[in-house]
Amino acid sequence: MNLSIVEYPDRRLKLKSKKIEKFDKSLHRLLDAMYPIMMNTNGIGLAAIQVAHPIQALILNIPEEDGEQPDENLIEMINPIIKSKDGETVYQEGCLSVPSFYEDITRFETISVEYQDRDANLKTMDADGLLSIAIQHEVDHLNGILFIDKLSYGRRKKFEKEHKRMLKEKKNSKK
């Protein structure tokens, strides 16, 4: 499966992803193909919409303290729903669909999320720390929300300016 990362300002990133009903080979193939893309780009989370599939699937691999991301850390969530949330935390987030831009984002500190695994088994996970932040970031993608949508008016303006300059530089370097 040939996948590539959809980047801002592509409007597909605004789409609401559809609930998954069929837990078949094509879903497994997509999840399997998303994993190397995420790992090869130093990602820790990736939603299916970021590879142009508007369905409610996301993957995560939260690094260990030494920065390693063993395959055993892979988490796949299908049709996730955040059932409860508490507290507040701030973290400097980045996104594979918004390369080279990082900003402090406020999120819930702890969450409880219900989801299905790739075989439709129902699961519940309580999360805090980076895992909680990553789940909230990826669930936002399923609702067409990017972390830059959470910036204040002033910070968003700053981002748009920086982004325009970055695209210009990219274009010039290709000439």
At CA 78, angle to CA 29 and CA 64, rounded to 5? Answer: 85
Cα–Cα dist 92/113, whole Å: 22
Q: Which of 24, 22, 48 is nearest to 37 (CA)?
A: 48
Read off the tokens for 54. 């508007």
Q: Taking contact as CB under 5 A, which single stretch among the options 3-11, 23-31, 54-62, 94-102 is the one that binds Co ion?
A: 94-102
Query: Which residue in the set 30, 57, 133, 148 belongs to the binding site for ligand Y12 (CB under 6 A)?
Result: 133
**Residue 21 falls in the annotated catalytic set:** no
> Which of 76, 93, 103, 138 does the annotation list as catalytic?
138
Read off the tokens for 91. 């973290």
134 binds, among Co ion, ligand Y12, none (CB under 5 to 8 A by kind): ligand Y12
Write down the least CB distance from residue 121 to ligand Y12, Å: 24
Residue 62 touches Co ion, criterion: CB under 5 A:
no
- DSSP reduced 3-state for 112: strand
Query: Which residue in the set 34, 48, 57, 134 belongs to the binding site for ligand Y12 (CB under 6 A)?
Result: 134
The residues in 95-124 that bind Co ion, with binding defined as CB under 5 A, are 95
Contact of 91 with 107, CB cutoff 8 Å: yes
**Beta carbon nearer to ligand Y12, 37 or 55:** 37
The residues in 63-92 that bind ligand Y12, with binding defined as CB under 6 A, are 91
Residue 3 touches ligand Y12, criterion: CB under 6 A:
no
Contact of 56 with 142, CB cutoff 8 Å: yes
